[in-house]
Amino acid sequence: MKQLTLLIFLFFSGVCLSRAAGPDFNSDVLPILSNNCFQCHGPDAKARKAELRLDLREGATRDLGGYRAVSPGKPEESEIISRILSDDSEEIMPPPKVKKQLTASEKEILRQWVASGAEYREHWAFVAPAQAEIPVSPAGRVVKNPIDRFVLARLKNHNLKPSSEATRSTLIRRVSFSLTGLPPTLEESDRFLADNAPGAYDRMVNRYLDSPAYGEHMARHWLDLARYADSNGYQYDTERQQWVWRDWVIDAYNRNKPFDEFTIEQLAGDLLPQASEQQRLATGFNRNHGITIEGGIIDEEYRTEYVMDRVVTTSQVWLAMTMGCARCHDHKYDAISQKEFYQVFHFFNQVPERGANGFAPKQRLASPLAATRKQELENELKRLKEELNKPRNLDALLEKWTSQIAGQPGGGWQILSPKTMDSTGGSTLRKLDDNSILAGGTNPPKDIYEITAGTASGKLTAVRLEALTHETLPGGGPGRHSNSNFVLSEFELTAASARNPSLRKVVKFVKAKADYSQANYEVSKAIDGTVDNPNGWAVDGPTRKKPATAIFIAKAPFGYEGGTLLRFRLRHEGNFGAHGVGRPRLSVTDDPAGSLRLQGIPADIRLIAARNPRDRTSQQAGKLKEYFLKHHNPDRMIKERIATLEKQQTASFPETMIMQDMARPRATHILHRGQYNERGEKVSAGVPAIFPAMRKNHNTRLGFAQWLMDPTHPLTARVAVNRYWQQLFGTGLVKTAEDFGIQGELPSHPALLDWLALEFIRSGWDTKHMYRLILNSATYRQTANVGKAAYRSDPENRLLARGPRMRLDAEEIRDSLLASSGLLVRQLGGKSVYPYQPKGLWMELNNRPGYSKAYPQGKGDDLYRRSLYTFWKRTVPSPMLKTFDAPEREFCTTRRSKTNTPLQALVMLNGTQFVEAARHLAQRMLIEGGETLNERITYGFRLVNARVPGQPELALLRDAYTENLQHYQSNGQAALQLLQVGDSPFNNALNQAKLAAMTSVARLLFNLNESITKG
Amino acid sequence: MHDLFLESRLIENRRQFFGRSTTGIGVAALSSLLGGNLARGEKTGKGGRIGGLEGIPHFAPKAKRVIYLLQSGAPSQVDLLDHKPSLEKLHMQQLPGDIRDGQRLTGMTAGQKSFPMIKSPWKFRQHGQSGTWISDLLPHMAEVVDDICVVRSMHTEAINHDPAVTFFQSGHQQPGRPSIGSWLSYGLGSEAENLPSFVVLLSKNTFHQAQPLYDRLWGSGFLPSRYQGVKFRSQGDPVLYLNDPAGGSSKKRLAMLDRLARLNRIREQEIGDPEITSRIAQYEMAYRMQASVPELADISDEPESTFKLYGEEAKVPGSHAANCLLARRLAERGVRFIQLFHRGWDHHSNVQRYLPTLAKETDQGSAALIADLKRRDMLDETLVIWGGEFGRTVYAQGNPNSFGRDHHPRCFSIWMAGGGIKPGITYGQTDDYCYNVAKDPVHVHDFHATILHCLGIDHERLTHRFQGRDYRLTDVHGKVVRGILS
């Protein structure tokens, strides 16, 4: 054991004592020089001290006037060796003020290196990968493909054995999460477990590769790199519509768009010859950076930041280079000069954009997942606009409309002419010409208006109350209170027979609707039989001085043959004194309740329409035409329809940001200290000299993208496959997946990395092929159940002696509970949604009027979509996702941290989404799970963890059920409360105590460490 | 009520996992939330500290913790802390061009044609033995001047809120770097047993034009996310998701956690992954937070004298005074970095109307905090800071009769007190125009270096390797301000 630990230590510390030829430059020497010396003696010319450059051999071995910093083979004559060994604080290197110290073993390595000839070698990552010989596989080892032979060779060097293959149930869960981010369904598990024919594993892998969920899952990883968000970041963090681009990514993965096309379209799709809409949409990638709208900012300062972000992101994603370090000065470690940084900057500096509110250029482009719908909308709009331009015969249309309404059943709203009007509080009620009643005089704290009216109709269905405004009312509003509001605490009606007034009945209303109600003062509160406070209909009079209309629908038609007398009571009796309705007008109708509208065609218009045209007086004809033109003008209706569709189009097919180059190129200058306003030398486009040259006459953004994808490029393929590896194993072959430069870590398996990179190129940049290849390896298929010692000796599994095992990502955790509970809504793409989150989070950070809004929590399906559709607000990310290490997406993120904290426990124990999903899982367990408790628990366990629980586990879960059942049987209220967590209704057919008890079991299942772990 | 039997069994479980560990329940959880990772073999340091980097503190610290009262929006130094008798004569005169000296202005006053200087409408007086000048707007602070150090020579580069507050919080104007609190959690670990080491308190916002805040201001940037600040809220759950769901009886909670631990342990034995051990510990810690956080937030155990000191306002959750009191309670429980955000100082118009309101909202609580810490003998080990992200212009924005003051980066005032800071002094000086620093400038990086120094950290040696570079809070700058150290 001790020996093993030592071996691993040696492997990772990079010290190779066995090599007679001296230490290896790249693995042993360079990290020491880079970490301790290059800051002052490296590529940065301005920072260079004593004109000594140690990153190049000719610099290090240069004659410095009778002595050399490095004298190959002669450490005793090498200044650097005497300086690092010095104990004089004036002499010693690194100097004390830089606060870096070499260890004894580092000093020894440098000494040995000089003694052995001080060989320099090019940094591995800047040399194109070469086809290495695939190692011979050791006898008796399972080898599925060349990956395993590379891994086994390394294991053999360390006297380690690979682990056996994981169980089938582990494998399908691992593969399912790896490729789709979701747990396997029971059907998928059963199918795989029952497939005993050869190739079962490959078939299973292919099924997941073909699943639309694959594209969603892969896109989700890409979104971190692309710093995708649904908000603009910075101070006000307003909404943006880049989800259309996000849909492009999902679609591209599902189509398995080759990585070269995937790259070129995202970086420069707009510059491709005859660029398609989708190719332009792809370029949204480099518009995902934050954009500020803060007042008073300086435009150019922020425009410069946006371009910087593009350079930094692009170089990190495709080159794993920290180009940003060369923004202010030459790179301290990698040989990238400040000038070269601005040469690359030039490619991305051509967008016709601004710093403040810099959202242009934008274009209305369809999500590839919704192209058909967009086309349909466009066609319909085109048709309507043509229709609008057609000449029309209005008189003919009027006649047609007239005959239509004349033939319709029902008389519309009949405005009542009040007979008597009384106020119990002493207000003056006066009838106006339009049959409305204007209140005036004293304004008593409590008041009831009693109004009578008659109608010839005998089969009424509903009453309408218009609360009109009037100039004599306070503020010209609809209410009597000085704040213009009213609170109608109750609205009552008694109907009596006109023939025999002793025949009477109180009319019961079952439904009320209004065109406007104040929050918590809904119109239904005016017919709920109580005047308790706060209880009644109000209309935000203080801020909204407008009329409002309510209709009250009777439980059953009412009235009497031969005419009906109506006696209304408008009660104002809440605690809010003096809140009378200012100018009520009452109407009734006999239209069927289902067809009622707040504003129907007035009864007098209907009466005119019903007459024979020849019998209409000219006054009546005029009134009819006036009404028709005001309310039913076809132009107006078409315009309204166009407005509706355009609104729909804006919402579903918004303008989204894309890349574009200006017609006249913007000049790019070196910016001193990276400051937007400190311009230096003008530069032209280009790439750093440490990389292969670009093709001549291709120095555009498109040329840059094509240069990245050149098969001879040393970085692009390696960087991409390394990220695939990181995604599947938790750590990349190069651990610093974002930095392949000199300060990055060396690959654990260099030959394997190169082989994979070349295979990727050979396959035509076939991403699915690469996933299939790695997933098919015996390396990936190893078990992770290997015992404590193995975890302790290689915590990050860098030697790959076991299968991958890691905590699920934030999105996978939420998605998996939605999936296993059956709540998951599998809709692909579309506008981002707002699932549950604790109240008040947005407003507590920003409540500035006009710049803020409360979190608009969604309803129904929107609560159960996959997490990559959750609205990503940069300044207030989803607290659930954030707790599980989701980044803020302010910038490109290559690796997420994976922490393990008590806050995570709290989310999983108490979050609404978790508790509600547990109830749904419990419902499935009770309904689908079988008859016995064991069967039901096993069913739920399999849904979550894709395996059958062991007996001890089953026993514990059974106890949990029994104990909770007792608890909830004697605490019915608690059971009901638990079942009501979340928006979805609970299944009423189930016994509440049982469902609550099973919900508790399901909560346990979701909280298992296993449930949030893959592997 | 806790079930003692089950609790003892939980402890039993823990013992089995942590072997000879004697540092108390939840240590692994804490270590994971706040510092290192016990499961991976990191050690707890001296004095029961959990997590943190080896070798830090670099030297004996003066302060154990920080309470930072951040005044977002930028308070007006010339009306609060920077007494300028010279303005009596200069009042309503144009700011001389050579004083502005090409200073870039925000888009809000860049187009303004006239820059009349406006003296403070409020009187300044000297207070205490130190004779520190304080505006009449801060009567309570006037009573504690002998315990604070006013720094009048702060300056920054940023001229707009977002970059400026981001700069103060993280040492960089663009988002993406770790906040001060997360640097400290990372470097120093935690001494709080049942609470996070970095807690954020937001005061309720009353000023309608207040600047927004953002989660990243207390984020961990490229440090692991466990170092980010945890928001204690005055509405809803005090810590997000802290409360049990409705109907999920707290009586059952312990039994549930016990079963969960046992189920996880079965897997732990089969697989051997130490992450499982750590996960079990997280649930224990969560359980303890469910008790410790409400206990912390429940101020009913405070004597009446507390409310005399902080004012009745301290009984209103989310008020500045209530948060100052909470800050003291957090400090008592060993929380390392407590940051209070108070918004509303951004007075582009009508300074005379708005500034007294904001001063009143914050004055008593801040002063009470100093006095309270002092009487509890905690002030000398707690560094208290009050200040905004920049200052405000001496010249009027808009109409001089209803004048506002625009953003001003070149000079502004803050105060610091307690652990490591010399009390009763005024440091630095601005010119007669209150436009430029005349003596002893303190840059934001210097301010950061000084905070770290008070906590025993050499700001050049608290670093984290990210993307090939060793980053630090002070970037490549920063000088400790020796003149204000005790």
How does pLDDT run across A259-316, given as a tens digit for each residue? 999 999 999 999 999 999 999 999 999 999 999 998 888 999 999 999 999 999 999 9
| Range of A429-438, A601-610, A642-651 with top mean pLDDT | A429-438
Nearest neighbour of B263 by CB, restricted to A324, A963, A1008: A1008
Cβ B199 vs Cβ B239: under 8 Å: no
Q: How confident is the model at residue A371 (pLDDT cuts 50, 70, 90)?
A: confident
Per CB-CB distance under 8 Å, the chain A contacts of B213 are 845-846, 875
- How many C-beta atoms lie closer than 10 Å to residue A839's C-beta? 14
Query: What is the C-alpha separation between A486 and A477, in angstroms, rounded?
Result: 10
The CA distance from B302 to the nearest CA of chain A, in Å, is 27
pLDDT tens-place string over residues A530-567: 876 668 899 988 878 888 999 999 999 999 998 999 99
Per CB-CB distance under 8 Å, the chain B contacts of A882 are 215, 225
Residues B327 and B468 in one domain: yes
Instruction: Assign B427 to helix, strand or coil.
Output: strand
- pLDDT for B14: 44
Choose the mutation target among B165, B467, B474, B476 for the interface with A, i.e. most A CBs under 10 Å: B467
For the segment A452-466, the average pLDDT, to the nearest whole number, is: 92
Q: Is residue A736 within 8 angstroms of chain B, CB to CB?
A: yes
Nearest neighbour of B242 by CB, restricted to A883, A906, A979: A906
Which residue is associated with the tokens 């315009």? A639
Interface touch B240/A838, C-beta < 8 Å: yes
Choose the mutation target among A308, A900, A913, A947 for the interface with B, i.e. most B CBs under 10 Å: A900
The CA distance from A977 to the nearest CA of chain B, in Å, is 5
Q: Is residue B55 within 8 angstroms of chain A, CB to CB?
A: no
Interface touch B233/A844, C-beta < 8 Å: yes
- pLDDT for B447: 98
- pLDDT for B31: 46
Nearest to A460 by CA among A593, A606, A585, A605: A593
Interface touch B219/A964, C-beta < 8 Å: no
Q: Which of A152-166, A426-440, A824-838, B26-40 has the lowest mean pLDDT?
A: B26-40
Task: In chain B, count H helices and then E strands.
Answer: 14, 17
In the DSSP assignment, the letter for residue B395 is B
pLDDT tens-place string over residues B218-244: 999 999 888 999 999 988 889 999 999
Domain segments of chain A as ranges: 2-121, 124-165+714-804, 241-370+655-712, 413-600, 910-1014
pLDDT tens-place string over residues A941-994: 999 999 999 999 999 999 999 999 999 999 999 999 999 999 998 888 899 999
pLDDT tens-place string over residues B265-295: 999 999 999 999 999 999 999 999 998 999 9
For residue B20, how far is the Cα from the chain centroid?
Answer: 37
Residues B477 and B432 in one domain: yes
Nearest neighbour of B215 by CB, restricted to A849, A876, A1010: A876
Interface touch B271/A785, C-beta < 8 Å: yes
- pLDDT for A698: 86
Length of chain A equals 1015
- pLDDT for B224: 86
Task: State the number of CA atoms in the 13 A half-sphere of A709 facing the CB.
Answer: 19
Q: How confident is the model at residue A10 (pLDDT cuts 50, 70, 90)?
A: very low
Question: Is it the case that residue A616 has pLDDT exceeding 60?
Answer: yes
pLDDT tens-place string over residues A842-861: 999 998 888 888 999 998 88
DSSP string, B181-237: HHHHHHHH-B--SSS-SEEEEEPPP--TTPPP--GGGG--TTS-GGGS-EEE-SSSS
Nearest neighbour of A791 by CB, restricted to B212, B274, B289: B274
Q: Which two tokens stand for residue A482?
A: 């000085």
Interface touch B244/A909, C-beta < 8 Å: yes
Q: Is residue A743 within 8 angstroms of chain B, CB to CB?
A: yes
Query: What is the C-alpha separation between A722 and A717, in angstroms, rounded?
Result: 8
Residues B295 and B388 in one domain: no
Residues B135 and B255 in one domain: no
Q: Is residue A1011 within 8 angstroms of chain B, CB to CB?
A: no
Per CB-CB distance under 8 Å, the chain A contacts of B240 are 838, 879, 883, 903, 906-907
pLDDT tens-place string over residues A329-354: 999 888 899 999 999 999 999 999 99
Question: At B92, which CATH number?
Answer: 3.40.720.10
Q: Is residue A55 within 8 angstroms of chain B, CB to CB?
A: no
Q: Is residue A128 within 8 angstroms of chain B, CB to CB?
A: no
Residues B264 and B143 in one domain: no
Query: What is the C-alpha separation between A965 and A970, in angstroms, rounded?
Result: 9
For chain A, positions 132-151, list CB contacts with chain B under 8 A: none
Residues B269 and B366 in one domain: no
Per CB-CB distance under 8 Å, the chain B contacts of A673 are none
Task: State the number of CA atoms in the 13 A half-sphere of A118 facing the CB.
Answer: 26
- pLDDT for A598: 66
Angstrom CA distances, A43 to A52, A111, A550, A796, stand at: 10, 23, 77, 33
Question: Is it the case that residue B15 has pLDDT exceeding 50?
Answer: no
Is CATH 3.40.50 what the domain over A413-600 is classified as, yes or no?
no
Q: Is residue B16 within 8 angstroms of chain A, CB to CB?
A: no
Residues B101 and B203 in one domain: yes
For the segment A142-161, the average pLDDT, to the nearest whole number, is: 94
Spell out the long-range contacts of A60-69 with Cβ–Cβ below 8 A and sequence spacing 24 or more.
A60/A118, A60/A120, A61/A118
For chain A, positions 405-434, list CB contacts with chain B under 8 A: none
The CA distance from A825 to the nearest CA of chain B, in Å, is 24
Nearest to A300 by CA among B104, B335, B234: B104
**Mean pLDDT, rounded, of chain B:** 89
Nearest neighbour of B161 by CB, restricted to A235, A333, A851: A235
Nearest neighbour of B260 by CB, restricted to A785, A950, A1004: A1004
Q: Please give the torsion angle defined by the CA atoms of residues A973, A975, A981 and A984, in that order, rounded to the nearest 10 degrees.
A: -110
Nearest neighbour of B252 by CB, restricted to A99, A967, A981: A967
Query: What is the C-alpha separation between A113 and A27, in angstroms, rounded?
Result: 12
- pLDDT for A1: 40
- pLDDT for B150: 98
Q: Is residue B160 within 8 angstroms of chain A, CB to CB?
A: yes
For the segment A32-58, the average pLDDT, to the nearest whole number, is: 88
Per CB-CB distance under 8 Å, the chain A contacts of B283 are 902, 905, 909, 1007
Cβ-Cβ contacts under 8 Å for A709 (sequence gap 6 or more): A259, A260, A263, A264, A716, A765
Beta strand spans in A561-677 (E): 564-572, 584-589, 655-657, 668-671
* Number of domains, chain B: 2
Q: Is residue A234 within 8 angstroms of chain B, CB to CB?
A: yes
For the segment A35-45, the average pLDDT, to the nearest whole number, is: 88
Q: Is the dihedral of CA A906, A910, A914, A919 positive or negative?
A: positive
Which residue is associated with the tokens 């049990």? B244
Cβ A731 vs Cβ A796: under 8 Å: yes
In a domain, B443, yes or no: yes
pLDDT tens-place string over residues B71-102: 999 999 999 999 999 999 999 999 998 898 88
Q: Is the peptide bond before A183 cis (omega within 30 degrees of 0)?
A: no
DSSP string, A128-194: ----PPPPPPPTT---SSHHHHHHHHHHHHTT--PPPBPPHHHHHHHHHHHHHSSPPPHHHHHHHHH
Choose the mutation target among B17, B50, B162 for the interface with A, i.e. most A CBs under 10 Å: B162
Choose the mutation target among B241, B282, B408, B465 for the interface with A, i.e. most A CBs under 10 Å: B241
Q: Print the domain residue range for B9.
A: 1-51+247-299
Residues B348 and B465 in one domain: yes
| Range of A383-397, A563-577, B112-126 with top mean pLDDT | B112-126
| Range of A87-91, A378-382, B142-146 with top mean pLDDT | B142-146
Query: What is the C-alpha separation between A207 and A175, in angstroms, rounded?
Result: 10
Instruction: Assign A429 to helix, strand or coil.
Output: strand
The CA distance from B429 to the nearest CA of chain A, in Å, is 28
Q: Is residue A909 within 8 angstroms of chain B, CB to CB?
A: yes
Q: How confident is the model at residue A600 (pLDDT cuts 50, 70, 90)?
A: low
Query: What is the C-alpha separation between A883 and A810, in angstroms, rounded?
Result: 8
Q: Which of A84-98, A189-203, A557-571, B153-167 has the lowest mean pLDDT?
A: A84-98
Question: Is it the case that residue A5 has pLDDT exceeding 70?
Answer: no
Residues B47 and B66 in one domain: no
pLDDT tens-place string over residues A380-434: 899 999 888 888 787 888 888 787 776 555 557 888 999 999 999 999 999 998 8
Interface touch B216/A789, C-beta < 8 Å: no
The CA distance from B285 to the nearest CA of chain A, in Å, is 6
Q: Is the dihedral of CA A383, A387, A388, A390 positive or negative?
A: positive
For the segment A878-887, the average pLDDT, to the nearest whole number, is: 95
Choose the mutation target among A294, A807, A847, A903 for the interface with B, i.e. most B CBs under 10 Å: A903
Nearest CA in chain B to A308: B174
Cβ B240 vs Cβ B230: under 8 Å: no
Residues B117 and B191 in one domain: yes
In Å, the largest CA–CA distance within chain B is 82
Residues B402 and B328 in one domain: yes
The CA distance from B202 to the nearest CA of chain A, in Å, is 8
A220 vs A371, residue with greater confidence: A220
Query: What is the C-alpha separation between A717 and A733, in angstroms, rounded?
Result: 13
Query: What is the C-alpha separation between A978 and A981, in angstroms, rounded?
Result: 6
pLDDT tens-place string over residues A700-736: 999 999 999 999 999 999 999 999 999 999 999 999 9
For the segment A905-913, the average pLDDT, to the nearest whole number, is: 96
**Mean pLDDT, rounded, of chain A:** 91
The CA distance from B377 to the nearest CA of chain A, in Å, is 32
For the segment A748-752, the average pLDDT, to the nearest whole number, is: 95
Per CB-CB distance under 8 Å, the chain B contacts of A836 are none
Cβ A239 vs Cβ A230: under 8 Å: yes
Residues B202 and B324 in one domain: yes
Interface touch A847/B259, C-beta < 8 Å: no
Q: Which two tokens stand for residue A612?
A: 């024979």
Interface touch A899/B225, C-beta < 8 Å: yes
Query: What is the C-alpha separation between B103 and A578, in angstroms, rounded?
Result: 59
In a domain, B309, yes or no: no
Nearest neighbour of B107 by CB, restricted to A297, A332, A743: A297
For the segment B454-475, the average pLDDT, to the nearest whole number, is: 93
